[in-house]
Amino acid sequence: MTIAQADKLFMEDRAVYCSVKTLRSYACHLQVFYQYLEMRYRQPMTLLEFGSLPQEDNIYSGFILFQRGRVKNSTVRSYCRTIKVFLRWCYEEDYCRDYLKKVKLPRDDAIPKMPLYTDEVAAIDSVFDVQTIKGIRNYCIFHLMLDCGLRREEVTALKVEHLDSKRNLLSVEISKGMKSRIVLVPDFLLDAVNVYLRQNGHASGFLFRSLRSGTPITDNTVKQMFQNLKAESGVQRVHAHLLRHTFATSYLIGGGNLEFLRVFLGHTDYNVTKVYSQLAAKCKMLGVDVYQLDPIFFTRGY
């Protein structure tokens, strides 16, 4: 079997349960790996077979060594997360030998991104004209990502019936990896969402809609909102994932535990959640004025 054929079967296998976004990421990262293999062995992927590769060659560690010095270690690690999934799948399907055994990744050289500070959130909040439908809608979108840890695509998929105002709960049913979870919603944010719903006049269906067409907002709507926030607030570093990053860091600074945070964020891998521990500890030790979450996160379940 050629590596190209193995790739096709791998992507078909993952398409059953992975999101379109994840599949695109797999394809992009694996393409870099395949380009390396074609260059190294001077054969196209349609002809290259695992069985024809020299036994002394480890294509996984070889890729790492090739990329080091060309790109940042953090980029190499990002590529390798996908390559590792592919090679492990191929090994389990008996298409290749175990290339992953005893191979270590280079140290992560990514510079930690500081969470949003209190004054930055205040500057952004001042941009929203909550007396208008657009202003209150965008305020709700922003704070669902900041105060509940939602991803951009999760916000666009929310429906009115996902919100349980009586219990301060929100069901996130279309999430990364097609997993569902429930998150807490502070009172101030529930109040804002209910004001938006009354002004917009809908009690069912998608929560956030286009003001012109009445159709659900798209990913581009949220992207444009962040572009406008950068220009109008002066906080140039604000972007969608930084809000989720701030939520996670602030939760740990406030005394939340890692397991609760893993559930709130919808992470399957505990190691993904742990990356926030060191940054939270540093911020707390230095007394950095990180945006503080609502007390609801530290009174429920404790």
The pTM score is 0.78
Considering the four listed CATH numbers 4.10.260, 3.90.1010, 3.10.450, 1.10.150, the one that applies to the domain covering 3-92 is 1.10.150
From-to residues of CATH 1.10.150 in the chain: 3-92
Inform me whether the pLDDT recorded for 178 exceeds 60.
no
- Structure confidence by residue, pLDDT tens digits, 238-255: 999 999 999 999 999 999
Q: What is the mean pLDDT of residues 12-36?
A: 93
Roughly how many angstroms between the first and final C-alpha of the chain, as a whole number? 54
Those residues whose C-beta lies under 8 Å from the C-beta of residue 109, and which sit 6 or more positions away, are 72, 73, 74
Those residues whose C-beta lies under 8 Å from the C-beta of residue 255, and which sit 6 or more positions away, are 298
- Structure confidence by residue, pLDDT tens digits, 37-52: 999 999 999 999 999 9
From-to residues of CATH 1.10.443.10 in the chain: 118-299
* Chain-centroid distance, C-alpha 179: 13
Q: Which fold has domain 118-299?
A: hpI Integrase; Chain A (1.10.443)
> What pLDDT was estimated at residue 150?
95
Inform me whether the pLDDT recorded for 229 exceeds 70.
yes
The least confident of 84-98, 123-137, 287-301 is 287-301
Percent of the chain with pLDDT over 90: 75
